[in-house]
Every structure is written in C-alpha cells, then in structure tokens.
Amino acid sequence: MNGLDGDNAMSDKNINSAGTGSEDLVLQEVVGRVGCITLNRPKALNALTLDMVRLLTTALLDFQNNPQVLAVLVRGQGKEGPFGHFCAGGDIRFFHQAALAGDSSLGDFFTEEYALNHLIHTYSKPYIAFMDGVVMGGGMGISQGASVRIVTEKTQMAMPETHIGLFPDVGGGYFLSRCPGYVGEYLGLTGQKISGHQAILAGLADGLIETQRLPLIWKTLLSTPFESGEAVERWLQSQFTKFEPSQFPDKAAIDKCFSLASPLEISLALEQDNSTWAAQALASLNKASPLMVHVVLAQIRKARSMGLADDLRMERDLVHHCFHLRAKSETVEGIRALAIDKDHHPKWSHAHLSDVAQDEWPLFFQSPWTPETHPLRYLV
C-alpha cells in the first residue's frame, strides 16, 4: 500500500482527511470523448490520502455515468509537469499518526481504497493508466485493474510492503498470484523493484511507450474523435514499443526457489544459489519483517484460487490485524524506522524467519467481522 521512495518526501501538512479543501490533489476534466484524471501531489510522489481516494472514486463514477466519456485516462503529476511519477502508494505518515491516535479514519482509508481498487478492476469503460516513474503499493492498486497499463523506460515498479511490516494489499494477492510461475511470490516477499519492460514480462503492464512521447500521446487522445472506447484502446496499443518475446529475468531460478513451501525453505535455497540475483533477493528478504514474510507467502498462495472481491475482503482483514492484532504493531514500527525517525533499523518482533511460530501468522487470516458485517461485504 505504500511506496517507499515517496515517503520521505511527505510532510505533516499533507496529512489530511476528507473535507479539508483538497480538491486540487486530484484534477479531473472531460476533453473531447475522454475523462482525464491527474494525481496532483508531486512533492509526495502522488502518495494517496483519504481525500484523494474519495476524489478518485467520485471522478470515476461521474465519468462512468457521462455518455460523452468513452474512456478514462489517469496519470501522475511530476515536479516538473505532467507525468514523471505515477503514484508512490499510500500516505504512510498518516497511517502511523492515525494508528497511534486510534483514529477511525485509518480503517476508512483502507475500506474506501480497496473499494476504489475493485471499481477500477470492474469499470464499465476503458480505464487507461500511464505508469511513468514510481509505481508502488497504492499506485499499483489504481493501475493493475486498468484495461491498458502503460509503462515507460523510467518506470520503477514494486510492492515493497514487507519492508515496513505490511503486506502487498490493494489487490496485491490477486494480481501477484497471477504473475507467471512464482514471480509474484518473489516480488511480494522481497519487494524488489522492476523496470517497465520487466513489468510487461511479469504480466503487470501491457505495453511500453517512451517517456518523451507521452505528452503527444495524451494530446492526441484528447483531440481525436474516437468512435468507441475500444478504438481508444486499439490506437494506444498500436503505439507500443515492440520487443522480442522473452521471459522474466531469472524466471527459472525464481520458480525453483519461490515455489518452495515455506519462507525458511525459500531463504535456504537462496543461500545455496551463488548467483548475483539470489544474493540480491536474499538481502532484500533479510531486511523484511520475518512475521510479514510468512503472512505474505500465505496471502499470495490463498489468493491464487480467489476472485478479486474475496481477495480484497481477505486483505481488509489482514490490514486490520496489522494495526490491531499485536500490542506492538509490526507496521507502526516499520513506518517509524523508514519515515518517522528514519533510522532504517526497524525492531521487528522476530529476528529471523525461523523464529516465527507456526501458530502466529495464521491469526492474521481470521476475520474480525462476520460475512454480514464485513466492511467490503457488498463487493462481488
């Protein structure tokens, strides 16, 4: 849900709740036959606040009901103008502050964000995401459901939540489990960054367009009298850079290691692999919360046989427990180390993967709600 690169750019003045006059954080307009959305929080790499989630939801519902709109385009605003970065995730400083204060808007954020993710995946019109620059956590949540997912040569994509004691939410279980082979387990457990081309090979993007071409592409989409939403999609797909067919880098080795039954077996397999890839993966795994690595492996494996709505309900259970299950929240500690005190040395509840008892991580999957009272019960 969070993007690690954007967190240090956030300031306390950006921590807000709905109703604070923050409409400028999400810019929307209809031009020609397309609805245009620009995330406009560039100093924080467009990290999502509750306001932004609500503004995005309202904009999408408005566009869905507007017969003039054939398709919806979404991009991020960079420090130097449109594009540059898409979205670094959720506002984790707000998570930290709200968790310590017992602020109920923390729960509202996740409920409404996951509902927004579901709306995007099930949207009735083409929804086209321009995933330039940083695309992490919550940025994945508002792009993976797009009918056309466009990356660039500058895309930096990741689901780095285990490094702050969290898990890849916003439907992460659903879309990571559908990556080829066990690439999803690799990305979810280690939080490794991948490029735009690698995102295509992982099934997390549809095509690449060079960054310098994006302004003209956007302008053309606004000025062309398309006959249908499908025509918009076809034209965009015709603009993709051509690549020779290939596999995700080191996929055979990834499948060998990350298909194993437990985090400890995965770690031992990486130790025994002498490649540079394995050393990097192991280093990332060792920085993550041991407890949440166990949770994430189970999350992705469970989600592989789930539909999106059930996965989002499971993730709503998980995120509740991340903040409420333990007296000392692993997530609050992870955010403290990264974005509050910035010492980058979280004091995890367990020192090693082998220290996590087999009866600990399953508790995260016990829903605190009945099916009739679950906050996402209406998703289908």
Is residue 371 domain-resident? no
Which residues belong to the active site? 90, 138, 161, 169
> CB within 8 A of 30, min separation 6: which ones?
36, 63, 66, 68, 69
Global model pTM greater than 0.75: yes
Print burial letters for 251-261: b (CB count within 10 Å at least 16), e (below 16): bebbbebbebe
CATH of the domain at 187: 3.90.226.10
Q: Does residue 160 form part of some domain?
A: yes
The answer as to whether 372 is a domain residue is: no
Instruction: Examine residue 235 and state whether it is found in any structural domain, yes or no.
Output: yes
Q: How many structural domains comprise the chain?
A: 1
**Structural domain boundaries, residue 204:** 4-365
pLDDT digits (tens, 9 = 90+) for 11-70: 232 333 333 347 799 999 999 999 999 999 999 999 999 999 999 999 999 999 999 999
pLDDT tens-digit readout, 255-284:
999 999 999 999 999 999 999 999 999 999
Which residues neighbour 329 within 8 Å (Cβ) at sequence distance 6 or greater?
99, 165, 322, 323
SS3 222: helix
Is residue 375 situated within a structural domain?
A: no
Q: What is the pLDDT, as a whole number, of residue 1? A: 53
In a domain, 370, yes or no: no
Task: Judge whether 300 lies within some domain.
Answer: yes
Q: Residue 86: inside a domain, yes or no?
A: yes
pLDDT, tens digit (0-9, with 9 covering 90-100), for 321-344: 999 988 889 999 999 999 999 999
Q: How far apart are CA 340 and CA 136, in angstroms?
A: 19
DSSP state, 87?
B
